[in-house]
Each structure stands twice: as structure tokens, then as C-alpha cells.
Amino acid sequence: MTSASDVLQKSPTRSDAKSLRAKWGWIVALGAVYLFAGFIALGSVLIATVTSVLVVGLAMIVAGVAEVFNAFQIKSWGKCLLWALLGAFYIVAGFMTFENPLLAAVLLTLALGASLVASGIMRIILAFSMKREIPWIWVALSGIITLMLGLLILARWPINSVYVLGLFLGIDLILAGAGWIGIGLGLRGHQARRGLAPAA
């Protein structure tokens, strides 16, 4: 038997779902914007790379300011100084990306390739440590692909630094856009099925 408290707890969820279904068109439109931006980025990967670097630089400046602010909330002078220095490092690094975005792109591309190699190796190790009844082969396959992608980036570094980040940004925007469009169309289909369903 459903209690009044259960109804009150479930009602907001149903209301939120109904509201989302009513706005499926906006969700599809958002996905279309992401898709458009992704194709624009792929059409001009150099500009997209510079944009990616500037966004990273801005994020580092914001993070650095937050670190410095938090440092003064710490009572211990040793820890306060450490946090303040860390924040200052982030701020300086952020401004350096604005000063020379192409050099920052070279360093970020190197970091990206190295992190993909490390991630791929860890996934492969994890896959072979799994029990055989678990579908470990898919984890191993994803690890091999990630490892190969990282090695490919490192093999072409630093020549590929002018387009790798922009390429990743474009692909990410396209995948995000496709995901939002899929969600929107799924909500539309659910709404249509509910409209065709006979009243209880």
C-alpha cells in the first residue's frame, strides 16, 4: 500500500520527467548546437586547439585564485604558504597559456598522450586481473585502443600539437551533441507512446 509520504516523494520525480518530456525540442536543439560547434571545430582544428588551450588557461587561473583564497582560511602558516604557492603556480601557468597558447598546446598534447598511454596500460592490467566470467575482453580491448591512441599522439609529437586538442574538442562536441539529440528524441518517443496509450 502506498503511503502519503511515498506519493510526496515520487511526485517531484514524475513532475521532473514530465517537464523534461515537454521540453524535448529544446534538448534536441541543444544537441544540434553541439553538433554544429563540433563540425566547426573539426573544420578549423587550429582555432579549436587555441580555444581549448585558452579555456584550460582560464580554468587554471580560476582554480589558482580559489586555492589562494582557501590558503588564507588555514590557520597553520606552513600549510597556508604551501596552498598559496600552489595557487600562485596555477595562476602563473594560466597566464602563460594566454601569453603563448601554441607552446601550451605542445605541452598539453604531450600530457594528453602520456596520460592516454598510462590509462591504456592500467586498463590492460585491470582486464587481465579480472575473473574470467566477467567480460574482461572489452576492458582489455578499450585499453589497447587507448594505449595505441596515446602512442600515436606521442609518435607525432610535437608536430601534431597544432591540431590534436582541436580534433579531440570537435569529436567530443559531436558525441555530446549526438547524445543530447538521442535523449531528446527518446523523450519525444516516450511522450508519443504515453499520448497513444488508453486512459486507465
Instruction: Look up the domain containing 74 and give its range.
Output: 28-191
CB 102 within 8 A of CB 161: yes
Q: Distance between CA atoms of 121 and 119, rounded to whole angstroms?
A: 6
Query: Given a cut of 60, is residue 185 above it in pLDDT?
Result: yes
Q: Distance between CA atoms of 76 and 99, rounded to whole angstroms?
A: 34
Indicate the number of domains in the chain.
1
Query: Given a cut of 70, is residue 192 above it in pLDDT?
Result: no
Question: Residue 105: what pLDDT?
Answer: 84
Query: Given a cut of 50, is residue 11 above it in pLDDT?
Result: no
pTM for the model = 0.60
Q: Distance between CA atoms of 127 and 121, rounded to whole angstroms?
A: 10
For the segment 111-131, what is each residue's pLDDT rounded down to a tens digit? 888 888 888 888 888 877 765
Long-range Cβ contact pairs of 120-129 (< 8 A, separation 24 or more)? 120/144, 120/145, 120/146, 120/147, 120/148, 120/149, 120/150, 121/147, 123/147
CB 91 within 8 A of CB 61: yes
For the segment 26-81, what is each residue's pLDDT rounded down to a tens digit? 888 888 888 888 888 888 777 888 888 888 888 888 888 888 887 777 667 777 78
Average pLDDT, the chain: 77
Question: Residue 133: what pLDDT?
Answer: 53
Question: Residue 97: what pLDDT?
Answer: 83
Q: Tell me, yes or no, whether 163 lies in a domain.
A: yes
Mean pLDDT value across residues 146-166: 83
